[in-house]
Structure 1
Amino acid sequence: MLFPASLTRRRLLGDALRLGLLCAAPPLLAAPRELTVLTSYPEALMSHFEDAFERAHPDIRLNLLWRALNDALGYLSQPDQGGVDVYWAASPRTFESLRQAGAWRPIGIDRTGLAERIGTTRLSAPDGSYLATELAGYGFALDRRALAELGVAPPADWSDLADPRLAGRIALPVPSEVGFAPVMVDIVLQAYGWERGWALWNEIAGLSYLVHRGSTFVSDEVTGQRAAVGLSIDFFVTGAIAGGAPLEFAYPRHGGLNPAHVAITAGSKQVEAAQTFVAFLLSESGQRLLAHPDIHRLPVRKSVYPQLPAGYHDPFRAAAAGGYDYDNDLGRARLGVVSALFEQMLIRQHEEQRALWTAIHRHEARNGQRLTAIRERFCQPSIGEKEAGDPQLQASFRRVEGDRTAANEIEAHWGEQARQRRRQVRQQLESLS
């Protein structure tokens, strides 16, 4: 798919032809080199970068191809890599999979001023074959008025969401369906520890309603007053705020970042032009474009932040205060396992999950005593952290084509364990009535 905005350069050349300028001065208007960029970014973002880049480099014309994140791996795995010179998207696992397959060439640009990490989050490939171009932060879309009506303070961290007064008013994206959500789950597991993290997610899920792929945006759930809090990634919410939505976005104390990357394909025939484009994306002028209200992403170049509007979130400053201790190298390997666990433990039979938490909270409020033993039984994860780190198990849950028999059998086992726990918890609660 060719973006409409990418016709800009062709229209200019057409105007020049009609005016006879190409005939009058052919050396000055030689045909520009064409650079093919594959991306999953929306047109609103790409049009800003295309216009700015082609003004700065009129000798290079961008040919923009759009593919969904799930389709990019197959497209770039073709023998000729689909004729693509540059891939630019927010899909760390795709970039790493293609790096291991030898799909990228060394980028070869000056990386002065570009950090390798923010906190413990690695930004770019260790060998520099793909580089981070921008960041997305995780947090909460908030309706302050709705929170005030519930008597709940705006949450400052994930643990603040485990408040019974929020029952039915938290919009939770389903990790197996919504691309950014598995990292969100793992942020909590790393921040609070495996056992406590799963217990926290268990209770949050029991207070939430689910947002499925293709149904709606989390920001719409909050602006529509169905949710008081929506769990999201920042640019979805800040974009809605720029459009006038009565929302706020809050970054939690235990934060996480999801880098977007750019790489030059091994088969590129326009290496110099590709390097010019990558250098532009990472330059101060390119990075400042990320602050445009239509885009509102977090730059990776630290020197840009003092030039941004007041109140713009600075992940470098937050990391200095301990706010970004998420290890994305650890997380990337186990995301498939984490997502599958979440699905079987907390998403399947979700209505029963909510009903059990309603009963737990009601009993605790009535008796003023925490049901510690019942909570521990209910929230026990199906596997331990060490088992989740097993490379063979992780390989079973990677998003690749092939036989899923092993993964399906493991998930069925986890699902049965979760059903048994719910049944036992229900029986224990009935015995207390």
Structure 2
Amino acid sequence: MNKAIATKTMVLIIVALVIIAVVVAAYSLLGPVTTPTPSPTPTSTPSPSPSPSPTPSPSPSPTPTPTPSPSPSPTPGGIVLRVITRHPYDILDVAKERFLQSELAKKYNIVDIKWLPIDPSQWIDTIKALAEKPGREIDVAWGGGPTLFDMLIMEGLLAPITSDEVMKVLPDIPEEISGSPMIRRDKNGNILWIAAAIASFGFTINKQRLAEYGLPTPTAWKDLASPDFAITLPTPSVGVADATKSTSNTRMYEIIVQAYGWVEGWKIITLMGANARIYDESGLVRDAAIRGDVAVGITIDFYGYTAQLQNPEQCEYKLPMDGTIVNGDPIALVYSSKHPEAAQAFIAWVLSPEGQTIWMHPNINRMPVNPKVFETPEGQKRPDLKRAYDETLKAAVIKFSDELALSYEEALRWFFYATITRPHEKLQEVWRELALAYLTGKITEEQFNNFIDELANPEKLKFKDPETEEELVFSEEAAKTLNMKIIKDVNYRNALLNEWTIAAEQRYQKVLDELLALIGS
């Protein structure tokens, strides 16, 4: 019996050892089980809060809350700035490459820039819409002219520029040049935009094409509306850009209107358009002048200087004798920025002599706002731009009102589109017949001028307000009244465009019928 008990005990011991061995083996396969130590919650350095976003308002002079400029704090992965712009990529590519290599970019942990090259008519809606989308808020607005930026101010979309980085370079920026402001302040003295470059406006000629067409060298805006430039039609000798596609060309049309008055200015703009091929971009006008597709194209100055460099034997930029202006082309902090200190670091860099060297690039050729750039190695290699800069400061400028231009700008842009771009074929046909009738002596100068008045006087174009059904003419006062409606209501704008186009086509046909009846053709 004792032997049986011993045997049973031995079996139990063996079974126990086997079970222990199995458990140990399984344990070794799974790895040691350790009690997890709770990982500490990462402590991030608090990033400075952006200034409160002002509520967009149509009030002409809202005062946004000043944006603080604390010392930069590290952001995991770095900061990506989002910049809405009117600049072409030949500027943007150079600016991005150089800025990201700068000490300011490193100091503020800026690792990339996302460009948003948006049509000017969409800026307000785009800025507001993206302000509601976390991670897509716009930080900086750059390029597009003072009127566009003044519209952003009216809508409360710009925040005051306050950072120490900008204040360091601000003394190098002139308060004004040739009567035009380079720094825009609100009624409380807050800086809302600063010019990053300056620009004049004129035209670029192609000497070879002028000679081949037998055309005189233009010296004034009104020359481009001359019947002399109609002799090449239906092949246009002039190049312009549609006002709804180009802020620089819009500025030139505003210069003409303010230099000559509303009625005479629109006559020049209309006949210039009749002599022209109308392009969708101002850069395409420059390219057409370089190639000789047109004999003359209206251009912002730096496009003219680029044309001179690329085709020095044939191309020349000219400042019109009947007046230009010197604009500051702004840069500003957008109210929605979540990185205001980094955004202002970029603004400071653009204004600094280092940043201003982008304008010295041979493919860019812009006039700097900070003259100290000419003391840099890059600036010293561009004595041609220094001469052009000095000539720009001495240009024959007109007394120009940004406030007046802003009061009717959208109406001007869309009236151009509706009455010149849309019915361009009919306008060009009528103008060609009218110019040839005059140049061949079939009609007198008085008859010619009367026909021009019927063809191009904006105050003789009758149309109905789509909202009130009131009959109007396109006077300066009417343009001011319609301006805000055009901005606020797309459906109203489209209905108005149809009214304008129909009225324009009818009067062009009427002038053609009367002319042909008179000359017996």
Q: TM-score category by the smaller chain?
A: 0.7 to 0.9
Residue matched to 1:76: 127
Give deviations 1:277-300, integer Å, cap 9, x for gaps: 322221233224312212211212
Q: Secondary structure at the match of 2:102?
A: helix
- Alignment of structure 1 residues 210-229 onto 2, 5 Å: 210-212=278-280, 217-229=284-296
1:220-299 to 2 correspondences below 5 Å: 220-243=287-310, 247-253=315-321, 254-257=323-326, 259-299=328-368
**What CA distance in whole angstroms lies between the structure 1 residues aligned with 2:450 and 2:307?**
43
The structural deviation recorded for 1:358 is: 2.0
Q: Does 1:397 align with 2:486?
A: yes
Residue 240 of structure 1: how far off its partner (Å): 4.9
Q: Which residue identity is paired with 1:147?
A: L
**Whole-angstrom CA distance in 2 between matches of 1:265 and 1:175:** 25
Of the structure 1 ranges 362-371 and 300-309, higher mean CA displacement relative to structure 2 is found in: 300-309
Q: Does 1:342 align with 2:392?
A: no
Distance 1:164 1:195 in 2: 18
How is 1:26-65 mapped onto 2 (pairs within 5 angstroms)? 34=79, 36-40=81-85, 41-53=87-99, 54-57=101-104, 58-60=106-108, 61-65=110-114
1:194 equivalent to 2:262? Answer yes
TM-score when scaled to structure 2? Answer: 0.67
- 1:111-167 CA-to-partner distances (Å, cap 9, x unmatched) read 324234333434443322122211343222221011122333322221121333322
Q: Which residue identity does 1:251 align to in structure 2?
A: L
Residues 81, 247 of structure 1: alpha-carbon distance in 2 compared, 3 angstrom cutoff:
farther
TM-score normalized by structure 1? 0.79
1:335 Cα deviation from its structure 2 partner: 1.5
1:49 aligned partner, one-letter code: A
Per the TM alignment, residue 196 of structure 1 is displaced from its structure 2 partner at its CA by 1.2
Paired AA for residue 483 in structure 2: Q
Post-superposition offset of 1:252: 2.0
For residues 4-52 of structure 1, give each alpha carbon's deviation from its aligned partner in whole angstroms, at most 9, with x where no partner exists: xxxxxxxxxxxxxxxxxxxxxxxxx999963524143445434443454
Q: 1:87 aligns with which of 122, 141, 158?
A: 141
Structure ranking higher on relative contact order (CA contacts 8 Å, 6+ apart): 1
Shift of 1:97: 4.1
Cα distance in 1, alignment partners of residues 248 and 258 from structure 2: 16
* Structure having the higher Rg: 2
Map 1:375-390; keep pairs closer than 5 Å. 375-381=452-458, 382=461, 383=473, 385-390=475-480
Distance 2:334 2:270 in 1: 42
1:290–1:296 Cα contact (<8 Å) kept: yes
Does the CA-based 8 Å contact 2:241-2:278 persist in structure 1? yes
Flag structure 2 segments of 5+ consecutive residues without an equivalent: 1-73, 231-235, 462-472
Q: Closer, same or farther in 2 for the Cα pair 1:343/1:30, shift >3 Å?
A: closer
Aligned positions of 1:406-421 closer than 5 A: 407-421=493-507
Q: Are the equivalent residues in 1 in contact too, given 2:81–2:113 (CA < 8 A)?
A: yes
Contact 1:38/1:65 (<8 A) preserved: yes
Q: String of CA shifts for 1:373-423, please: whole Å, max 9, x gaps.
A: 222222211345442453x4111222x5x4523x33433333343234323
Aligned length in residues:
400
**Distance in 1 between the 2:511 and 2:504 partners?**
11
SS of residue in 1 equivalent to 2:363: coil
Distance 1:358 1:324 in 2: 31
* Residues in 2 aligned to 1:344 and 1:87: alpha-carbon distance in whole angstroms: 29
Query: How many angstroms apart in 1 are the aligned matches of 2:241 and 2:336?
Result: 37
Output the amino acid matched with 1:208: A
- CA distance in 1 between counterparts of 2:279 and 2:97 reads 35
Q: Partner amino acid for 1:278?
A: I
Q: In the alignment, what sits opposite 2:32? A: none
Q: What is the percent sequence identity of the aligned residues?
A: 22
In the TM superposition, residue 315 of structure 1 has moved relative to its aligned partner by 6.0
Q: CA contact under 8 A between 2:182 and 2:328: conserved in structure 1?
A: yes
Tell me by how many angstroms 1:337 deviates: 0.8
Q: Deviations over 1:258-317 (max 9, x none)?
A: 543222244545444433332222123322431221221121235556866334365675
| Offset, 1:324 | 4.8
Residues 286, 97 of structure 1: CA spacing in aligned structure 2 closer, same or farther, 3 A cutoff? same
Q: Which residue of 2 is the match for residue 66 of structure 1?
A: 115
Question: Aligned partners of 1:176 and 1:72: how far apart in 2?
Answer: 13
- Partner Cα separation in structure 2 for residue 409 and residue 270 of structure 1: 41
Kept in 2, the 8 Å contact 1:190–1:197? The answer is yes
Structure 2 partner of 1:146: 209
**Match of 1:38, SS?**
strand
Structure 2 vs 1, CA of residues 369 and 310 (structure 1 numbering), >3 Å: closer, same or farther? farther
Aligned match of 2:406: 332
CA distance in 2, matches of 1:197, 1:354: 18
1:224, distance to aligned residue in structure 2 (A): 3.5
| In 2, Cα distance between equivalents of 1:81 and 1:343 | 36
Change (3 A) 1:364 1:129: same
